[in-house]
Each structure stands twice: as structure tokens, then as C-alpha cells.
Amino acid sequence: MRITTGAMPLFLLYLAVIPDCGKSAPDTGSLEGSYTGKGLSVTVQVLERRPVESSFSMNAVLSGIRESSASSSISDMVERIHFSVGDHVEKDQIVISFPTGNPAARYYQARVNVEHMKTTLDRMDSLYHSGGISRQEFENTAALYKVAEANWNAARQMVEVRAPISGTITGINVQQSDNVYPGDVLFTVARTHALKAQLWVPESRIREVRKGAAAEARWNGIVLKGSVSQVDLSLNTRRQAFGVTCIFTNEGHAVPSGINAEITIFSHYGELLAVDRKNLVREGGTYVAYKVVDGTAVKQTVSTGRPIDLKIEILQGLSEGDTIITGGLTLVEDGQPVRIVK
């Protein structure tokens, strides 16, 4: 189409009144668009004291509430095993026997000597009470008898290995006719009506743990209820963690000793004033929050306490009923007008 010079002003006027279809109207709902008029759009939270709970889990080995192992004192062949794994034994019951002829045990010599000293002591006792010997002579013989009796007990313990505690045999490490050496662990006895777990809690979480706190142990779908029985007060420098002991009730011996379980410790803090850490701003070495007071953002320095999962305890600076900004923190400034939106 040919446009003459005279028609040009009318054509330019036509272009000026045509709307620009490539541009959209300003987004008055955006944070940038909310600076004017009613202020920066923010979301808020009204603070209130609430019961706060926390929990964390770690893996640990469960063992009997009491557990003790017996070791060999001599080098010899296992002659007899009197019990099997799972059997209940009483303290001092013979579990494993070695040949009595082992020279290291001096079993027969010790037995003969104690029998001889017992006969001698009985004879000296009669003489003492009839005035035939002095009290000193009688006491010397009694002392020799006690030495002989101790040697006899030691010889018996070498060849008759007994249960160190009452409980269930949870493991036997030898078989009949095996050769063993001094120090070899022969068997383990444990009391498994209750189980314990030793945890190593890092420094970052030890403030969440207290003695008596509830705990759970989970293994193969079985859940044992328990509690924290001990919390170390000093850091273990080798592990760089604090030792924590938990005890669990093991009804019906449902969970065996020695397995690896997931241990969960629960902490109940009571009613606290706590906020999500993301709602605080770190400035140097302190935390600040932004309160809304009469439609204005007010920067407030706060003193914090215990970290509790994603929250942190507020000790000073904020009070119950305060309204703090939770959305728009990256844009807000102290003294700035704000508009609360849902």
C-alpha cells in the first residue's frame, strides 16, 4: 500500500491508540508490586507456648542387661560341654569340663592336700579344746587349711569352668574335643529379660537427651519399650561423642542378644516458646526476628536456647502473642510498612 505524505499524521495517531498486545498489565499481587500503597506483603505467625517433642534414631547393638563370658585358664582339650545355647544356668553351675589330669591344674595334688589339711585341722581342733596345743598352733593349722582349700578351688575352676552369673547361655564358642588356650572365650551367659544398648551421641544432639527419657528399639518389626538409664557428662575423645545407655524390656525374650537394632530416643520439653529456625535471620553472632507492630516491621534481636529438630527455643527478645514475619524475610527492612497476607 502506498502512503502519501499528507496521510502520515493520521497513520501515526492510529498506531498510538492501538494497545501493545505483547505487554501484560503489572502484577499487583507480587512482592515487588506491594511496596507502594499498603506496604510489603508478608506472611506471619503469632507466637504461643506449646508442648515441644523431639526424637532421633541411631543404630546400636542390643545385649543382655547383664552379660558375662567365661575364658579358659589352661591349654587343653574340651572334655565335655554340659549345656547348650539357650539353656538356663545358675551361677557356679559347671558348663565346660577339661581333663582332671592336666599338669597345669595340679588337680589331684590340690585335692589330696586339702583332704589332708582338713583331717589335720580336725585333729588339732580336738587337741586345742582338750588343752593339748596352744591357740597359736591351732590358728597356724587353720591358716594352712585355708591356703590348701583356696588351691583346691583354683584347681577345680581350671578344669570345671562354671557360669559366672545366672542367666541364659547365649553363645558357646567351642565344641567337644576342641583344643583351647589360656584366654580363649568359651561361652557367654546373659540375662535377656531386658536388653541394653550403648549409643554414641554427637555433641550436636546430646542436649536433647536426658536420663529417664523414653526410648524404643526396633528389630524385624518388633518394638521394645525402654528408657535412657545413663547419660555421660564428658565427651569420649576417641569417639568424639557422648555415651548414652538405654535399657529395654524384652518380654518373652522376643529379641535375641547381639543383634543390631534401630534405637529411637524421645525428648519431651514441656511447653516452650520455639520458632522454626528459618524464621530467624543470622546477623553476625546473633539471631534477629522481624515483628509486626502497628503495620510496621520491627527488627528484634533474640536470645536462643536449645535446638529442637527444625525449631529453636526462644529465651529472650520475643514473647507469647508476638507476631513475627515468616514470609518475605529476604525483602523486609526495619521500620518498613508491611501488609499481612494469608
CATH of the domain at 335: 2.40.420.20
Q: Is 187:96 a contact under the CB 8 Å cutoff? A: yes
Q: What is the pLDDT of residues 156-165, one digit of tens each?
A: 999 999 999 9
Domain count within the chain: 3
Residue 18 has pLDDT above 70, yes or no: no
State whether 199 and 216 are in the same domain: yes
252 in the same domain as 293: no
Q: Average of pLDDT values for 231-237? A: 95
pLDDT at residue 69 in the model: 95
Residue 331 burial (CB count, 10 A):
17
The verdict on residue 295 lying in a domain is yes
Q: 213 and 262 share a domain?
A: yes
Q: For residue 30, what pLDDT is reported?
A: 40
Which residue matches cell numbers 582339650? 77
Write out the DSSP string of 231-270.
E-SS-BTTTTBEEEEEEEE-GGG-S-TT-EEEEEEEEEEE
pLDDT value for 221: 94
Residue with cell 518394638: 223
Domain of 212 in residue numbering reads as: 55-63+189-269
Which CATH number does the domain housing residue 217 bear?
A: 2.40.30.170
Same domain, 257 and 287: no
Q: What is the pLDDT of residue 54?
A: 82
Which of 139, 159, 179 finishes a domain? 159
Task: Based on the fold, state whether residues 283 and 254 are members of the same structural domain.
Answer: no
Most confident of 6-20, 128-142, 185-199: 185-199
Cell numbers placing 76: 587343653
CB of 305 closer than 8 Å to CB of 314: yes
Here the cell at position 180 is: 583351647
My answer on whether 265 and 309 are in the same domain is no
Torsion of the alpha carbons at 28, 30, 35 and 40, rounded to the nearest 10: 130
Residue 281: inside a domain? yes
243 and 234 Cβ atoms separated by less than 8 Å: no
What is the rounded distance in angstroms from the CA atom of residue 124 to the CA atom of residue 282? 88
The CATH number given to whatever domain includes residue 137 is 1.10.287
DSSP H or E segment with residue 167: strand 167-172
pLDDT of 15 > 50? The answer is no
Q: Residue 236: left (phi > 0), alpha (psi -120 to 50), or beta?
A: beta
Residue range 189-228, pLDDT digits in tens: 999 999 999 999 999 888 889 899 999 999 999 999 999 9
- Residue 310 within a domain: yes
Is the whole-model pTM more than 0.75? no
Contact 141, 121 (CB under 8 A): yes
329 is a domain residue? yes
| 116 belongs to a structural domain | yes
Question: Whole-angstrom Cα distance, residue 236 to residue 153?
Answer: 40
pLDDT bracket for residue 103 (50, 70, 90): confident
Percentage with pLDDT > 70 across the chain = 89
Which residues make beta-bridge pairs with 339?
A: 41
Does the pLDDT of residue 61 top 90, yes or no? yes
252 and 114 in a single domain? The answer is no
Residue 47 one-letter amino acid = L
| Distance set, CA 331 to CA 30, 40, 154, 340 (Å) | 12, 8, 81, 14
- Section 235-246 average pLDDT: 95
pLDDT per residue over 271-319, tens digit each? 889 999 999 999 888 999 999 999 999 999 999 988 887 889 999 999 9
194 and 264 fall within a common domain: yes
What rounded mean pLDDT belongs to the chain?
Answer: 87
* Alpha helix (H) residue ranges in the chain: 8-17, 107-129, 135-159
Tell me the per-residue pLDDT of 32-51, one tens digit each, with 9 for 90 and over: 434 444 789 999 999 999 88
Q: Ramachandran region of residue 205, left (φ > 0), alpha (ψ -120 to 50) or beta?
A: alpha
**Final residue belonging to a domain, choices 269, 298, 328:** 269
Q: 24 pLDDT band (50/70/90 cuts)?
A: very low
The three three-digit cell numbers of residue 53, written as one number: 517433642
Could you tell me which residue, 71 or 271, shows the higher pLDDT?
71
Q: Of the candidates 221, 244, 269, which is a domain's last residue?
A: 269
- What pLDDT score does 267 carry? 85
The mean pLDDT value for 257-283 works out to: 90
In a domain, 103, yes or no: yes
255 and 193 both lie in a single domain: yes
Structure-model confidence comparison of residues 342 and 125, the more confident one: 125
Query: DSSP string covering 59-74, please?
Result: EEEEEEEEEEEEE-SS
Residue 173 burial (10 A CB sphere; 0-12, 13-18, 19+): middle
Cβ atoms of 20 and 248 within 8 Å: the answer is: no
183 part of a folded domain: no
The pLDDT score that the predictor gives to residue 20 is 42
Same domain, 108 and 247: no
Whether residues 294 and 258 share a domain: the answer is no
Residue 281 and residue 248 in one domain: no
Alpha carbon separation from 114 to 74, 93, 121, 147 (Å, rounded)? 21, 22, 10, 9
- Rounded to 10°, the helix 107-129/135-159 angle is 160
CB 194 within 8 A of CB 255: no
Which triple of cell numbers denotes residue 285? 553472632
Predicted confidence at residue 270, as pLDDT, reads 77
Q: What is the pLDDT of residue 26?
A: 38
Q: Is residue 182 part of a domain?
A: no
